[in-house]
Amino acid sequence: MKKLSGILLIDDDDTTNFLNKRLLDRMEVSNHIRTFVNGKQAFDYLYNVSNKNYEVESSEYFQPELIFLDINMPVMDGFEMLDLYERLNPEFRKKIVMVVLTTSTHPQDTANSKKYNAEYIIKPLTAEKVNRLLEVHFSDKGEEA
């Protein structure tokens, strides 16, 4: 399986971001992983990447293929961020798998995630959960003969 072009981890808990980044690094899923502590930071980043509002392609700016998004965060929560994300260019968004990664098992949160066409995964993130996502969403990418 090829490496993903990039992954974003969006969670207000630094320990969660650290552990998830470590897991993904160990699994060698991508060389580009960025973390954000609220939806506003992440949306600003995605807005800039989708509009190419930066000078040079670099490890600072990359098109993510996978985003893990927490729901409950200060400044801008996950669903507020998803509302804005839906306004980004559809061509840009169709290359991204959005995953709501949360401790919430509330049926309303699950329903909201479906509304945004996002996967819904209960924390903690594990290698098994990552492998399932990769299998479902990325296993046939780039392997057409």
Q: How many domains does the chain have?
A: 1
Is residue 140 assigned to a domain? no
By residue range, what is the domain housing residue 105?
A: 7-119
CATH of the domain at 84: 3.40.50.2300
Pairing of strands 66-69, 33-36: unpaired
Classified as helix, coil or strand, 51 is coil
pTM for this predicted structure: 0.91
Res. 11: pLDDT tops 80 = yes
Res. 144: pLDDT tops 50 = no
Residue 24: exposure state from Cβ atoms within 10 A (0-12, 13-18, ≥19): buried
Count CA within 13 A, CB hemisphere, residue 58: 5
Is residue 126 assigned to a domain? no
Res. 56: pLDDT tops 80 = no
What's the rounded mean pLDDT across residues 32-51?
A: 95
Average pLDDT, the chain: 91
